[in-house]
Amino acid sequence: MLTTIVGAMVGLTGFVVTVTVLAIQMATGTFSARYMRIWYRDNLLKVTLAVLAGTLAFSFSLLRQVTSNQSPNIGVSVAGFLMVLSLVLFLLFFDRFIHRLRPVAVAGLASQQARRIIATVTQKAEAGSASTQTGIGDPALMVSSQRDGSIQAINVRGLVAWASRHDQLLAMQAAVGDFVTIGQPVIGVFGNGSIPEKTSRQLRGMIALGVERTIEQDPAFAIRIIVDVAVKALSAAINDPTTAVQAIDHLASVLALLGSTSLHGPVTFRDPGGAPRLLMPGRTWEDYFTLGVTEIREYGSTSIQVMRRLRAMLEDLRESVRSEHRPAVEAEIAKLDATIATGFAGSVDEDQAQARDRQAACARCCCSSRPPSPRSQRSLTAGRPSPAGSRWSPGSSETVDLYLTGRQGLSGRGGRI
């Protein structure tokens, strides 16, 4: 039995690894190369591989205790339990693998992580900072990077504690997500206090560098992934505007949350006594907004679905974001009008492309800002029998019900459904 379990675990582990490699390859080629990091850091994948490898090692070690006269009954029972657990985890992993291969699932996962980051990082920075920088002179020490890489995370609490302990003011020269090269300044130390000898090494140890950006402290990177999914769907090779519309759905929730936050760029973190200790460059609302909208508008300039869904999102944002963020939204709506005027110049569908539509599903659905034309209303009422004792009119409740449910899109000649 132990030999069977060992063989089964070897085969199952190889199958899980193969499925993972195929999933990463498909996600990289179809969705976004940035999605690969989210996939291979999945906790369920790690637990599944750990249980499979553990079951294999445990069962293999028990083989040494099996003789012709006795066998470790308890060990065999544990190995059988681990094998059942491995099968359950494999089924859960396979179900997760199938569901995460959908483009909308990729955008949804990135949106979920972006909202978590905004709630835990951006809003905390807002609560514990001031939007204006404190006047500083020349730095007493400039800490440079010793290797190339993207700034993946910054230990804000550790930097503030170090600056408070040594009565210094630290100024980050690069933001999370920036790529720094060897010798590029990353932290400036300002103040009149004494600077320990190992300051550079200590401060560099509070900055995580890697070969690529991560989502942990970088909402802009999560937006980048959502935009990549939409842009790739709008490419000539794929030509899938519906996927782009679904990506815009998730992008809208992220931008709405960012729009409710006070984002003024650079922030100042203070110690418990109120003294400024850390200056960090930060992105503004315009930075996030431009990142999320511009490329989708450009690549989807000839898609009615994308233009209608973008307008619905922009008009919703205009109503929900803070007052200081609205000028950027108004400017983007003007750019959208210009894009439609150029992309649909002389087209009979220009009026449809200019309407708003949260579902981007039909020419005259309930989300459209335009009412149905009189001709459309007549087509709804033509050929329909009137209820006894009542008269049909374009404004009757049944006509309104048909309009709201979108069933007029199913009508044929003479208004028959």
Per-residue pLDDT of the chain (417 residues; tens, 9 = 90+): 677 777 777 888 888 888 777 777 776 666 666 666 666 677 888 888 888 888 888 887 887 776 666 667 787 788 888 888 988 988 898 888 777 777 788 788 888 888 888 887 665 554 444 444 445 678 888 999 999 999 999 999 999 999 999 889 999 999 999 999 999 999 999 987 778 778 889 999 999 999 888 888 888 998 998 998 899 889 888 888 998 999 999 999 999 999 988 877 788 888 888 888 999 888 889 999 999 999 999 999 999 999 999 999 999 999 999 999 999 999 999 999 999 999 898 889 888 888 888 886 654 444 444 444 443 344 434 444 444 444 444 444 433 333 333 333 333 334 333
Amino acid, single-letter form, for residue 20: T
Separation between Cα atoms, residue 274 and residue 160, nearest integer Å:
11
β-strand pairing of 149-154 with 179-180: antiparallel
Q: Among the residues of 189-325, which ranges form H helices?
A: 199-204, 219-233, 241-259, 285-299, 304-320
Are 293 and 330 in contact by the 8 Å Cβ rule? The answer is: no
Q: Under DSSP, is residue 60 helix (H, G, I), strand (E, B) or coil? A: helix
* pTM of the shown model: 0.71
> Of 368, 227, 232, which is closest to residue 288 (Cα–Cα)?
227
pLDDT digits (tens, 9 = 90+) for 373-394: 443 344 434 444 444 444 444 4
What is the C-alpha end-to-end distance of the chain, expressed in Å? Answer: 64
Separation between Cα atoms, residue 265 and residue 108, nearest integer Å:
27
Q: φ and ψ at 190, to 5 degrees?
A: -125, 140
CB neighbour class for 280 (10 Å; exposed up to 12, middle 13-18, buried from 19): buried
Q: pLDDT above 70 covers what percent of the chain?
A: 76
> Of 119, 98, 92, 109, which is closest to residue 35 (Cα–Cα)?
109
User: What contacts 87, CB < 8 A, 6 or more positions away?
Assistant: 12
Domain assignments of the chain as residue spans, ordered by start: 2-101, 374-415
